[in-house]
Each structure stands twice: as structure tokens, then as C-alpha cells.
Amino acid sequence: MSQHVESYQDEIYLTGMTGTVPDFPTDLTRLEEAARSAMTPQAYDYVAGSAGGEDTARENLAAFRRWRIVPRMLTDVSRPSYASTVLGTELTVPFMLAPVGVLAIAHKEAEIAVARAAAAQRVPMILSTASSTAMEEVAAANGDGQRWYQLYWPKDRAVAASLLGRAQAAGYSVLVVTLDTRILAWRPRDLANGYLPFLRGIGIQNYVSDPAFQASLAGADSDEAAVLRWTQIFGDMSLTWDDLPFVRQHWNGPIVLKGILSASDALRAAAAGLDGIIVSNHGGRQLDGEIGALDALPAVADAVGGRLTVLFDSGIRGGADILKALALGAQAVLVGRPYVYGLALGGEAGVRHVLRALRQDFELAMRLSGLASLSDVSPDCLQRRPGAGPTGAG
Ligand SMILES: Cc1cc2nc3c(=O)[nH]c(=O)nc-3n(C[C@H](O)[C@H](O)[C@H](O)COP(=O)(O)O)c2cc1C
């Protein structure tokens, strides 16, 4: 058995001796299927669904299958350490929680349960602007946990500045600016269900709790007025690279751009003085037909890896996936849907399970690959699956 002090694997097998088995799936690829029965059909479709024919969502997963790990034998992995520091945030394992909005549709404790589980497991969380709980309440539940704030940059600059000020005051240390969602994509499942949580007042809690947003309502303080105003200011299709100084001016700390998929945009981010980027296609929820996120990673990492922090999401479903993303140039990854399914299945306990299982699965994948630290990971750890075409690896 593993000698790791916090071995979830050991705990599960030992508990199994008394006839007790885990409450939640240990095969993390089965979380989606298990969560389905715990959610309303509309909520399940909102989380599991993607844009268009979901071609990019499938491609995100397929891109991982095209890379295979080549393990090394007889290296000393008796005392591994996979700790790192990313933009001042300490990671014991190289993953964080991706910003996912409207979590109240998955579980009544929503972001509060996630914030508690993340703090308990020492996994940093990124809170969405579209959260269903106000950021100050989430911060209180997260306690001395590490947290970042994700901005959906609203059209109303007074609201944007106010959100950033509140996030800093509530202890969010890094700003993530999501670029790929200035409008919502064509999402057939949600359209077929006629279901958009925001219009039902779910996911606008950071807005309605905001003084600048309230001021913009000019006294029209009904729920309908708030939702209507939200639809007017949610996204700004006129934003360009020239607008980035605004966030720099209003945020005192590292800033990361989420949704970068090309080396040229990554170079622009570096030139614009950003601190990091997240290679992501929003889990295939925005532009259907676009490149699988993992396929975008090597060229981006080659272009800016030495200058910017490069993070990755879209398609992480297990420990081996994290290893692969690191080998292709990411410093750490974001986990999205899997923890939402954990939340749906068991609230805080469900999220804790997913975080513990993922940590253990990652640590075992690393040790079984002969890798004792993150600095041991390189493109040489991977090989393209036969017939999968050119590597593109840097
Ligand atoms: C239900 C749902 C809501 C999301 N909400 C946000 C959000 O509010 N802000 C954001 O930047 N990304 C959001 N994302 C995208 C995630 O941050 C992340 O990029 C994505 O989940 C990665 O894909 P994966 O979950 O398939 O691995 C959301 C994703 C899902 C599934």
C-alpha cells in the first residue's frame, strides 16, 4: 500500500474491512452519470451540456486519449512532493477548482459547500462572478482557504470596479478575467428546456448584493428589474486588448486571462503585462467546433511558458489527465464539472470525496510513472498514441 500520510486509498480499503464502501463513485469518469439522478433534468443539462452539437466537448476528452504516459522504472518515489506555488498561492497538488457559476442548481448549499470542502482539502477555489452566493459569504465559508476571483466583465464599469473592490476586500488574491463568454453560446439542451438559471434569479447574487449595481437600478428594486438589468450589463462585446489597463488599475495583485487558445493571443497577454493565462475553451460550452483545449496547450506553453504562468482546463477527469497537462506545459490545472457532480451527489461531503480521490489518483499516477516531483515532468513522459498524428509537443 502507499505510504503517503493522507492516503484516501488506504482509508477506503481499511474501512472496507468493516463492510463499508464509499458513498460516491471512485471512478471519476462515472460522476456525471451518477449525478444525473441527483439533479433536476434542467440542472443536469445545464451542467453537462455544451455548445452546439457538443463536438468540442467531446474533442476535449478525446485530446487526452491521444496522449499516452510512458512510465520510468526504478526511480526513488518513496518521498514524493508535488507542491508548488502559483502566483503566490500554495498548491499541495497542482489543481484548483475552476470557476463554475449558479451552483445552487446542483445543491442547496451551493458555493458554501464548495468553499468549505476546498478549505478543508487545502485546494484553492476560483469563485465565479455568476455564483449563486455573494462573494463575501463564500469567503467567510472558505475561512483561511486560498481563493481567487473570476470576473465576467460587465458593461457597466462602475459595477465592474465595485466587484473588484469587494473581491479584494474579501481576500480573493488573484483575478481571473474570462474572455470567452461575453455572450452565451447556442446551447441546444438549455434551449430545448427553455432554461436559463439567471432569468430565474440564480447566479446574479454578486450583482444584487452590489451597491453599484443597486444604484444602477435607480429605485426599481423588484426581482424582475434586477434580472432585466443583469441581462443588459452581463457582457461587453466591445472589449478589446486596449481595455485591459482598466482591470490593472482596479486590481492590486496578479491577473490571469482565461480562455486563451492560440500562441498569438498568449504573446499579446505577455506583451500587455498580464501575469498568467488559462488555456481553456470553457469545457466546450462556448464555441462549438473549436480546438480541443489540450491540443492548444503545447504551442501556447512554447510561446510564453517562460514568461507567464500557464494554467489549463477543459477535460480534466482524473489524475493521469493532470499529469498529461503538466507534461504539455501547464503549471497547474483547473477542475470543473467533476466537483460540480460531487456537489450534486453529496454537498460538501461529495466535493471532498472528489478532491480527495483526484489528489490520490494524481499522486499514484505520478509515482507509478516514476516522478517524484513536478520538476520531473516533461514532454518525454508522453508519447502520441499510434495513428494519432503529429505531436505538436514542445
Ligand atoms: C455549469 C458550468 C458553469 C460554468 N460557469 C463558469 C463561470 O461562471 N465562469 C467561468 O469562467 N467559467 C465557467 N465555467 C467553465 C469552467 O470554469 C471550466 O472552464 C470548464 O468547466 C472546464 O471544462 P470541464 O468541466 O469539462 O473540464 C462553467 C462550467 C460549467 C460546467
Q: What is the pLDDT of residue 393?
A: 43
Cα dihedral across residues 109, 110, 112, 118: positive or negative = positive
* Residue 274 exposed, middle or buried by CB count within 10 Å (0-12, 13-18, 19+): buried
- For residue 70, the CA-to-ligand 1 centroid distance in Å is 30
Q: What is the pLDDT of residue 344?
A: 99
What is the end-to-end Cα distance of the chain in Å, rounded? 35
Query: Who contacts 181 (Cβ-Cβ below 8 Å, separation ≥6)?
Result: 152, 235, 259, 282, 286
Place of cell 455564483: 131
Q: What is the pLDDT of residue 292?
A: 98
Query: Who contacts 29 (Cβ-Cβ below 8 Å, separation ≥6)?
Result: 317, 318
Dist CA 71 CA 67 (whole Å)? 13
Q: Kindly state the DSSP code that residue 98 receives in the 8-state scheme.
A: P
DSSP structure string for 23-41: SS-SSGGGHHHHHHTTS-H
Query: Which residue's C-alpha comes closest to atom 8 of ligand 1?
Result: 101
Report H helices in 194-336.
205-208, 211-216, 223-233, 244-250, 263-271, 293-304, 319-327
Q: What is the pLDDT of residue 220?
A: 87
Tell me the per-residue pLDDT of 10-62, one tens digit each, with 9 for 90 and over.
999 999 999 999 999 999 999 999 999 999 999 999 999 999 999 999 999 99
Query: Which residue's C-alpha comes closest to atom 20 of ligand 1?
Result: 283
Show the cell assigned to 88.
Answer: 503566490
Tell me the per-residue pLDDT of 248-293, one tens digit each, with 9 for 90 and over.
999 999 999 999 999 999 999 999 999 999 999 999 999 999 999 9
Query: Which residue's C-alpha comes closest to atom 26 of ligand 1?
Result: 283
Tell me the per-residue pLDDT of 64-101, one tens digit each, with 9 for 90 and over.
999 999 999 999 999 999 999 999 999 999 999 999 99
Query: Which residue's C-alpha comes closest to atom 14 of ligand 1?
Result: 100
Dist CA 113 CA 91 (whole Å)? 20
Residue 322 binned pLDDT confidence (cut-offs 50, 70, 90): very high
Tell me the per-residue pLDDT of 133-147, one tens digit each, with 9 for 90 and over.
999 999 999 999 999
Query: Who contacts 37 (Cβ-Cβ below 8 Å, separation ≥6)?
Result: none
Dist CA 348 CA 235 (whole Å)? 31
- For residue 248, the CA-to-ligand 1 centroid distance in Å is 24
Show the cell assigned to 148.
Answer: 481567487
> 3-class SS at 90?
strand
Side chain identity at residue 309, one-letter code: T
CA angle, 104 then 317 then 97, to 5°: 45
Q: What is the pLDDT of residue 206?
A: 98
Q: What is the pLDDT of residue 4?
A: 43
User: Is the pLDDT confidence value at 2 over 70?
Assistant: no
User: Is the pLDDT confidence value at 192 over 50?
Assistant: yes
Residue 391 binned pLDDT confidence (cut-offs 50, 70, 90): low
Query: Which residue's C-alpha comes closest to atom 4 of ligand 1?
Result: 100
Q: What is the pLDDT of residue 378?
A: 98
Query: Which of 31, 195, 282 for a ligand 1 pocket mutation test, highest count of atoms within 8 Å of Cβ?
Result: 282
Which residues have any ligand 1 atom within 6 Å of their CB?
46-47, 98-101, 128, 130, 150, 178, 258, 280, 282-283, 285, 313-316, 336-337
Query: Which of 148, 280, 285, 290 for a ligand 1 pocket mutation test, highest count of atoms within 8 Å of Cβ?
Result: 285
Dist CA 281 CA 295 (whole Å)? 11
- For residue 372, the CA-to-ligand 1 centroid distance in Å is 31
Query: Which of 42, 46, 50, 100 for a ligand 1 pocket mutation test, highest count of atoms within 8 Å of Cβ?
Result: 100
Dist CA 359 CA 382 (whole Å)? 20
pTM above 0.85, yes or no: yes
User: Hey, which residues are catalytic here?
Assistant: 282
Tell me the per-residue pLDDT of 169-179, one tens digit each, with 9 for 90 and over.
999 999 999 99
Side chain identity at residue 385, one-letter code: R
CA distances from 146 to 33, 118, 130, 163, 224 (A): 30, 8, 19, 18, 35
- For residue 262, the CA-to-ligand 1 centroid distance in Å is 19
- For residue 283, the CA-to-ligand 1 centroid distance in Å is 6
Mean pLDDT, rounded, of the chain: 96
Show the cell assigned to 14.
Answer: 481499511
Q: Are 334 and 60 in contact (CB under 8 A)?
A: no
User: Is the pLDDT confidence value at 219 over 90?
Assistant: no
User: Is the pLDDT confidence value at 6 over 80?
Assistant: no
Show the cell assigned to 362.
Answer: 494524481
